[in-house]
């Protein structure tokens, strides 16, 4: 894998951060490439060197966070629900501006669908309808229920500016997940 020039990585990070900050202030539709360039302290050409347009930039940012969540969940496979939920909540907290902008504001409504789809795929790995409390249930119904509940609670937590620390929220959410999966 070729080594990435730190200047390029720094510029790309500044561009991504600028878009998220601007979205939290004025909404995606009202943002121009020039706004992003000004906020990131780069020229427009630098943005176009890495991204086709603001839609491509937003898509890349969303994909990066979904991939990070996937890698994070893969590394947490040895943990129980509560432990793995603590790690997920900490990731959400450390990326609060992104997730609050994507899930709570009207910035990118389709991110919620991508986040939900990601969670459906993750919870599908854990749902067991052959034994226990979900015996005889329809797997799709159980997975949809759990994933939508999880995303809804995350939205509530972010919308209310994280009223509980990640470890407390994770414990509460983990206990609920253990009851339903």
pLDDT, tens digit, for every residue of 88-100?
888 899 999 999 8
Q: What is the mean pLDDT of residues 51-78?
A: 87
Does the domain at residues 59-180 carry the CATH identifier 3.40.50.300? no
Given this model, what pLDDT does residue 105 score? 67
At residue 2, the pLDDT reads: 65
Class of domain 1-51: mainly alpha
Question: What HEC string does 104-117 produce?
Answer: HCCCCHHHHHHHHH
Q: Between 136 and 108, whose confidence is greater?
A: 136
pLDDT tens digits, one per residue of 9-30: 899 999 999 999 999 898 888 9
Can you give the residue ranges of every domain in the chain? 1-51, 59-180
Say if 1-51 and 59-180 have the same CATH topology: no
Residue 21 pLDDT = 94
Please report which confidence band the pLDDT of residue 77 belongs to, taking 50, 70 and 90 as the band edges: low
Mean pLDDT of the chain: 88
User: Across residues 46-63, what is the average pLDDT?
Assistant: 95
């Amino acid at each position: 894998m070729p080594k990435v020039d730190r200047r390029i990585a720094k510029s790309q990070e500044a561009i991504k951060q600028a878009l998220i900050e601007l979205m939290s202030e004025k909404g995606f539709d009202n943002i121009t490439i020039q706004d992003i360039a000004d906020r990131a302290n780069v020229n427009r050409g630098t943005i176009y060197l890495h991204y086709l347009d603001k839609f491509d930039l937003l898509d890349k940012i969303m994909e990066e966070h979904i991939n990070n969540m996937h890698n994070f969940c893969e590394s947490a496979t040895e943990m129980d629900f509560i432990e793995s939920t603590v790690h997920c909540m900490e990731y959400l907290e450390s990326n609060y501006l992104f997730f609050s902008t994507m899930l709570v504001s009207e910035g990118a409504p389709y991110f919620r669908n991508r986040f939900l789809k990601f969670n459906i795929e993750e919870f599908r790995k854990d749902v067991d309808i052959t034994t226990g409390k979900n015996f005889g249930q329809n797997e799709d119904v159980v997975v949809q229920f759990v994933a939508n509940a999880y995303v809804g609670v995350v939205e509530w937590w972010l919308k209310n500016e994280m009223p509980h620390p990640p470890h407390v929220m994770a414990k509460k959410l983990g206990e609920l997940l253990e009851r339903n999966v």
